[in-house]
Amino acid sequence: MSRFPFRIVAGGALAVVALGSVAGAYAITHGLTGLLGGQPSAAQIIDRFEAVSGKHAGFRRNHAKGVCVTGYFDSNGNAAPLSRASVFAAGRSQVVGRLSIGGGNPAQADGASNVRSLALRILTPGGSEWRTAMNSAPIFPVRTPEALFEMLAASRQARETTTYGSDEGMDGFMKAHPETVRFEQWLHDHPPSSAFGNAAYYSVSAFRLIDRDGHAQNVRWRVEPDDAYVPLADAQKQDSDFLERGLAERLQQGPLRWHMVITLAQPGDVSNDSTRLWPANRTQIDVGTLVVQREEAQIDGPCRDISFDPLTLPDGIAPSDDPLLKARSAAYAESHERRVSEERRYAAHQ
């Protein structure tokens, strides 16, 4: 599993993916968050992920455990009137992706996470590139980078000071950030999937599609699986690696397919708050099919060195005013630089 012959010790707390599973002491203080005001830097955010899950050389600081996938995206042309991006013209684009679970420990059990993630790098025949990182929950626990930083602090202290059965820490965090209730409720109402291939994945943040006349439309997207959703079984909770093994077994039967669906915002729908869903009656457009044909271990697979920066966007797709997008982009770059540097240092000593 590891890119280096280091011993991996299982354990650690999940930082983002399961608020209800984190308990312990929590206080909003300058000493705890490490901030005296303003937005945390990418380095501070990644330091905090490392404080939660430990340092695992050569691995991503979040979503450390995953598997590479390859395939293609067949656009049906339905989004072409909304966006001048060539990826939405009718035709096929090549895909390199990564399926993963949340958390920074690459040895954690699959059953410890109740959110799956799908990241894609889509390359059109003309050379344009679109990267998107999606989660199996359509919303995020917090709205701002500052709140994320505080949540990571709560997770760190939970790991260090938890008394078994205590919920005081997360209760305190949720009292200070009531928006997290929506995320926890969604997880409660939607048990995790039994496989990577039967989960839907969501952009979470809003983006803007730009047409040939320069008109902008706020959207979110998701990919809906052709395979029927099946909830996680009790027996799987004791299986540390059922997701990657199940993916390989499923692909022996044939490719996996998801339909990409774009949801159009209406005036008044917030674009700067990833903790809020848009109303269910918004227009939705099926814009094409994602097909996954092959999986490969991330140790040497084609996704290994890709940073799935959500702001790597082609002409015709633009970021919204969601404050998490710039923070995510910077944190992905910081995580990528750290693991690449670790690989260089390791290679230099061989």
pLDDT at 193: 97
* The pairing of beta strand 129-135 with beta strand 256-264: unpaired
Query: CA–CA separation, 146 vs 235, rounded Å?
Result: 38
| 27 domain residue, yes or no | yes
Q: Which of 23, 17, 97 is nearest to 298 (CA)?
A: 97
DSSP class per residue in 92-135: EEEEEEEEEESSS-TTS-GGG-S-EEEEEEEE-TTS-EEEEEEE
Looking up tokens 């997701």 gives 243
pLDDT(230) > 60: yes
| 13 domain residue, yes or no | no
Is 332 among the annotated ligand-binding positions?
yes
- Stretch 298-311: mean pLDDT, rounded? 95
Q: Which of 156, 157, 151, 158 is nearest to 173 (CA)?
A: 151
Confidence of residue 25 (pLDDT cuts 50, 70, 90): very low
| 3 domain residue, yes or no | no
| 6 domain residue, yes or no | no
Mean pLDDT (the chain, rounded): 85
**What would the pLDDT profile of 40-63 be if each residue is shown by its tens digit?**
998 998 888 888 888 898 899 999
pLDDT at 344: 80
Contacts of 261 (CB under 8 A, 6+ apart): 221, 222, 223, 224, 284, 285, 286, 287
**What would the pLDDT profile of 139-178 be if each residue is shown by its tens digit?**
999 999 998 888 887 765 545 544 444 556 667 777 889 9
pLDDT(323) > 80: yes
- Stretch 294-302: mean pLDDT, rounded? 96
pLDDT(200) > 50: yes
- Number of domains, the chain: 1
| 37 domain residue, yes or no | yes
Domain range for residue 120? 19-348
Contact 16/62 with Cβ under 8 angstroms? yes
| 12 domain residue, yes or no | no
| 2 domain residue, yes or no | no
| 153 domain residue, yes or no | yes
Percentage above 70 pLDDT, the chain: 84
pLDDT at 31: 32
pLDDT(10) > 70: no
* The pairing of beta strand 66-75 with beta strand 91-101: antiparallel
Catalytic (active-site) positions = 63
DSSP class per residue in 221-271: EEEEESSPP-BPPGGGGG-TTHHHHHHHHHHTT--EEEEEEEEEP-TT--S
Q: What residue type is 77 in one-letter code?
A: G
* The pairing of beta strand 91-101 with beta strand 116-123: antiparallel
CATH code assigned at 220: 2.40.180.10
pLDDT at 51: 83
Break the chain down into helix, strand, coil percent, rounded to 5: 30, 25, 50
**What would the pLDDT profile of 97-143 be if each residue is shown by its tens digit?**
999 998 889 999 998 888 999 999 999 999 999 999 999 999 999 99
CA distances from 278 to 258, 273, 282 (A): 22, 10, 7
